[in-house]
Amino acid sequence: MTARLLCLLLGVLLDLLIGDPRTLPHPVRGIGWLIARLESPLRRLFPLTPAGERWAGRLLVLLVAVLPTALTAFVLAVIRWACAPLAFALSVLLTSQCLALTSLRQESMKVCAALTAGDLPAARAAVSMIVGRDTDCLDEAGVAKAAVETVAENFSDGVIAPLLFLAVGGPAAGIFYKAVNTMDSMVGYQTPRYQHFGRCAARLDDLLNLLPARLSGLLLCLAAPLAGLSGKEAFRIYGRDRKNHKSPNSAHTEAAAAGALGIQLAGPSRYFGRLVEKPTIGDPTRPVEPEDIRRVNSLVARGYAAAVSAAALLTILTALLS
């Protein structure tokens, strides 16, 4: 129990201290490589029909969810047998790599810095690294809004969800979650290419994030006063707009953040050159500004502190029951 709790806490601390240095191998890059390598062969195995593409997508989900998870568990078990301290150190590293709070803050603050400097092209380039929408046509407010939205949304699937999986099942469970989430980010699109092939990945990702998304939204509401923002408005907008998205999970954190900040998020956006109509979240009481990127990072940092405490208790409970 002590080792599992210490591993979780040290992993959280390591993420806070160094984030995801590009010089270190990262499991998500390996998972992304596996997805890219499997897609074409799996498509060739099945007929070029909607049903055939769905079966290919299901097999992709099975392989990508199982292989990295099993490999992580096997490697850690072998290293633990040979050298327990080395296995513990690797577990801490993997735990930190499953969490994305620091990298999310660093990348979003690059957008804030570019906007503050008045460099809109640089801000567009920076925000294109963390969002899936088209950014070339965004104005300053659009760039700032996109950054705020991605920080809020990724608080759930980049921070709280993996933290919960790590608390319950350690690094192997964290890698399982990251594998599913990476599949969704690569193939879970409603485009002609992925409408059928990516359906299973998108639905499994939705299922895994049902609880974390709702917990994340509530954490942001509770954290709003600690960040000098409006807890009352966070709860009001969360209650009203948390379902204003095609995804069953995406709007929960965005609604809480929009209410806390007193701004409006979402609305129509361009993806792959196509305008996608989406409902708005929050009230347009004022324009979105670069400083809102800093404010939303402050908000998620305070929500994260509470989440880590809860995850530590969950780790202890899970260890006692196992």
Summarize pLDDT for 14-57 with one digit per residue, the tens. Answer: 999 998 888 888 899 999 999 999 999 999 999 989 999 999 99
Question: What is the average pLDDT score of the chain?
Answer: 92
Q: Which of 95-99, 112-116, 228-232, 272-276 shows the lowest per-residue confidence on average (mean pLDDT)?
A: 272-276
174-189 confidence digits (pLDDT tens)? 999 999 999 999 998 8
Contact 282, 108 (CB under 8 A): no
CA 7 to chain CA mean position, Å: 21
243-257 confidence digits (pLDDT tens)? 988 889 989 999 999
Strand (E) or helix (H) holding 118? none
β-bridge mates for residue 270, sequence order = 275
The pLDDT value recorded for residue 21 is 83
Contact 289, 141 (CB under 8 A): yes
pTM to 2 decimals?
0.93
β-bridge mates for residue 275, sequence order = 270
Burial of 85 (0-12, 13-18, 19+ CB in 10 A): exposed
Instruction: Tally the C-alpha atoms within 13 A of residue 145's C-alpha that lie toward its C-beta.
Output: 24
